[in-house]
Amino acid sequence: MLTQTLEDGRKLTDAALERLLPAAGVRPVSIHQAMRHSVFAGGKRIRPILCLEAGRSVAGTLQEGIEELGAALEMLHTYSLIHDDLPALDNDDLRRGRPTCHKVYGEAIAILAGDALQTQAYEVLSQLRCSAEARVKIIEEIARGTGTVNGMIGGQVVDLEAERSKPNAETLEYIHRSKTAALIAASVVTGGIYGNGSAEAVENLRRFGQAIGLAFQIVDDILDVTQTSEQLGKTAGKDIASEKATYPALFGLDESRKKARGLLDDAYNSLQSFGFRAETLNALACFLIERES
Amino acid sequence: MLTQTLEDGRKLTDAALERLLPAAGVRPVSIHQAMRHSVFAGGKRIRPILCLEAGRSVAGTLQEGIEELGAALEMLHTYSLIHDDLPALDNDDLRRGRPTCHKVYGEAIAILAGDALQTQAYEVLSQLRCSAEARVKIIEEIARGTGTVNGMIGGQVVDLEAERSKPNAETLEYIHRSKTAALIAASVVTGGIYGNGSAEAVENLRRFGQAIGLAFQIVDDILDVTQTSEQLGKTAGKDIASEKATYPALFGLDESRKKARGLLDDAYNSLQSFGFRAETLNALACFLIERES
């Protein structure tokens, strides 16, 4: 069941991305190739799938056109990865086993490809097949979730600064909540708005998204310690090597696992009023927290 | 009269920017300081002023809250300057006589500050005080005008690539139209939409904006040749030194001046149906084309 949900969601998202990104042959070709290089690098499309299922959870059925919202979320996630990988930031040569955008296209084009994916996301959002009122709400949620104040960029900044001075637990939680959980929360919140969910349902989805978003990042920290590079498809042990502050480093492995499981319970509790309609989202949450890569 | 228009528009824009950007003390402070460093670096606020006056030209009066749209346009313009100035792109240490963002805050924060100004612009646009229908139209126009297909980023990419191979007249016009004119056109178009202009009026504003946008960049090319660094407030002769393709290099000074004046006529003609309501926009157009710095 869940395997099918993941597979269907991924295919629907990929088809929308294919349609909504300028073709690789459109002038100027270099940037369109660079955007596509990073967008089609084998991502699992977690954020779009959460968005699709959040919409279904409030509306009862898969909402027509919601995959375009999912595609925009994936464009924003990809823009953040391209910029994170740049030499001035994390300086990563590989992602999912493939050379990063700047390794293939150079730094200038990689910077602009990230910029362009953000821009393209908002063009897509402005044209979504829901009411104009829903579209502006969705745009506002996403801009906040990816912004500087408790959003994705803010988390990235504090993460960069934490490399110089060991953060405490409060700062580490701020980083994870902002850098990772805010966009994941925005994915389920905007799915709920697209599906015309009530204000209460949307706020329940927000609590669900915040809980699984933070848990997702804690699990990421844990896997970096416990798995091999081969299992992860990326360099394992990188956090320890770079003396990065992580949940396991600060709390130990057992306590970190306990925190992740506690957040999973919080997520389940957030959607209690959804009844059986929360089933798929809960299964997704469990899958994300119990994953081994 | 025009001096007052410029002064009033600049003040209104600056006050909106002050209000709409996170305060410099908000966490994480480094990025908010970096965003403010570049936004408050003495810009003339040309795009916001054109937007304000486009709104007035269709509505008859200055539209309440339109300065927030102007502020968003300025955030987008500033984001493009921060990224253009980066070492991987134009590698500029100074802008308007002040050190560029990455010289003060480092490359990582400069990349993220540019990203964040784009994000913040869309958050502001999603909350504008016009109808949701007008807001999504405005967001769509701005995303297109700053995107890769005939928009700002596309022009920047072709400009970068032209440094290696001398462009012909067609390519040069593509660069100028995309890199500079598209956002200027979007500024007057969205001002017209905010002011509730008819579809026909908005298309006239688009032709006006495209004409003055291209002329603006041709004049920029001319001034680089004819003015001193002191007059410009930035390094003059840079285009010649870098063997950059420009209108004067391709057509000579006289022919370039003729082209700019021809475009100014096109701009006037675009707004003929506006009657006396086009006066301020026409005066602004004339000012931008006849400027000496």
B170-182 pLDDT, tens digit each? 999 999 999 999 9
What pTM, to 2 d.p., does this model score?
0.97
- CATH code assigned at B215: 1.10.600.10
In terms of Cβ atoms closer than 10 Å to its own Cβ (0-12, 13-18, 19+), residue A97 is exposed
pLDDT on residue B232: 67
Residue in A32, A126, A143 closest to B143 by CB: A126
Residue of B nearest to A119 (CA): B143
Which chain A residue lies closest to B128 (C-alpha atoms)?
A: A136
Using pLDDT thresholds of 50, 70 and 90, give the confidence band for residue B97: confident
SS3 for A219?
Answer: helix
Inter-chain touch A108–B88, beta carbons under 8 Å? yes
Residue B254 to chain A, least CA–CA distance (Å) = 31
Identify the domain containing residue A36 by its residue range. Answer: 2-290
The average confidence (pLDDT) of chain A is 95
Span B27-82, pLDDT tens digits = 999 999 999 999 999 999 999 999 999 999 999 999 999 999 999 999 999 999 99
pLDDT of residue B178: 98
Instruction: Give strand ranges (E) for chain B.
Output: 94-95, 98-99
The pLDDT of residue B235: 67
Is A108's CB within 8 Å of B144's CB?
no
Are A244 and A17 in contact, with CB atoms under 8 Å apart? no
Q: Quote the CA–CA distance of A234 and A240 in Å, as a whole number.
A: 14
The C-alpha of A47 sits at a distance from chain B's nearest C-alpha, in angstroms, of 19
Pairing relationship of beta strands A94-95 and A98-99 according to DSSP bridges = antiparallel
Closest chain B residue to the Cα of A160, Cα to Cα = B108
* Separation of alpha carbons B51 and B185, rounded Å: 9
Please report the sign of the dihedral spanned by the C-alpha atoms of residue A126, residue A127, residue A128, residue A132: positive
Report yes or no: A208 and A51 within 8 Å, Cβ to Cβ. no
A20 in Cβ contact with A32 (< 8 Å)? no
CB nearest to B111's CB, from A27, A86, A106: A86
Residues of B in contact with A26 (CB under 8 A): 148-149
Name the residue facing B132 among A114, A122, A132 (closest C-beta).
A132
Structure tokens at B29: 């402070």
Mean pLDDT value across residues B77-90: 97
CB spacing of B118 vs A116 below 8 angstroms: no
pLDDT at A34: 98
Pull the structure tokens for residue A133: 């009122």
What distances in angstroms separate CA B260 from CA B95, B220, B266, B279, one per listed residue? 25, 10, 10, 19
Residue B105 in tokens: 């805050």
Is the alpha carbon torsion for B283, B138, A28, B112 positive or negative? positive
Q: How many CB atoms lie within 10 A of CB A261?
A: 14
How many other CB atoms sit within 10 Å of the CB of residue A290? 11
Segments in A227-276 forming alpha helices (H):
229-232, 238-241, 247-251, 253-270
Q: Please tell me whether the interface predicted TM-score (ipTM) of this complex is above 0.90.
A: yes
pLDDT band (50, 70, 90) for residue B234: low
Asked if the Cβ–Cβ distance from A139 to B125 is below 8 Å, we say yes
Q: Which residues of chain A have pLDDT under 70?
A: 229-230, 232-236
**pLDDT-based confidence at B238, cuts 50/70/90?**
confident
Count the domains in chain A. 1
